Structure 1
Amino acid sequence: MARAITNEGHDAVHVCDIDMLSASDHAVWDEALRRAAVIVTKDEDFIVIGQSKPDTPAPAVVWLRIGNCSRKVLLDAFLGIFPTVVEMLEAGEKIIEVR
């Protein structure tokens, strides 16, 4: 996913690229906040973290709810709406659900 986002002209890193593959969700959240990055995830845990901290700064989260599918299907679905996701992020949306 990070490579696909980079290929679309945006900065992106995967947690493994920054030695956070085994980091807790809270640590990833904090790192995204520090970097002013957007979290792209299939994991509802990041939504729950945001709901548990309603009065604190939060990174934007793009929640992929496409279900069990191949990597290609996931990438094709996401990239098909990627321009809309970018527009929503630029407009200040903090949680974007992709179905």
Structure 2
Amino acid sequence: MKFIVDAQLPPALAEWLGGQGHDAVHAMNSVGVHAPDSAVWDAAKREDRVIVTKDRDFAVWASARRAGPQVVWLRLGNATTHSLLAWLEPRWPSILALLLEETRLVEVRA
């Protein structure tokens, strides 16, 4: 599966996803550090990538639009990279299963 990790999440998350066997890029390497959300959305759509984000805007867009990329919305407060990955790892199989079922918006709460 292909992912784009939004700019407010650490690049290490894209690396972790790559270690899980996925094709993952970080937004700052794909569309630039200060690119607007619309650029991330367009890149994900163009490259058939799932957006991984903490940004509510992407969740709203995924819910409101009929076409576009899938979104994994991580509902976690501020966390170190280590804490984020430790929190995500046990949840990942369920997230992936929902994505494979073509769920447009996967909301993951702390």
Query: What is the TM-score normalised by the length of structure 1?
Result: 0.89
Aligned residue number for residue 22 of structure 2: 10
One-letter amino acid matched to 2:89? L
Higher relative strand content: 2
AA at the equivalent of 2:79 = C
Unaligned runs of 5+ in 2: 1-12
Identity of aligned pairs, percent? 40
Number of aligned residues: 97
Deviates more, 1:75-84 or 1:35-44: 75-84
**Does the alignment pair 1:32 with 2:44?**
yes
- State the shift of 1:20 in Å: 2.2
- 1:19 deviates by 4.0
Matched residue of 1:49: which SS?
A: helix
Q: Is the 8 A contact 1:20 1:28 kept in 2?
A: no
1:6-52 alpha-carbon deviations (Å, 9 max, x no partner): 00111100012224221110111011000110000011111123344
- 8 Å contact from structure 1 (residues 85, 96) kept in 2: yes
1:46 — aligned with what? 58
- CA distance, structure 2, for counterparts of residue 19 and residue 45 of structure 1: 17
3-state SS in 2 of match to 1:87: helix
Residue 39 of structure 2 aligns with an amino acid whose one-letter code is: A
**Runs (5+) with no aligned partner, structure 1:** none
Find the partner of 2:82 among 65, 72, 77. 72
TM-score for both structures, normalised by structure 2 = 0.81
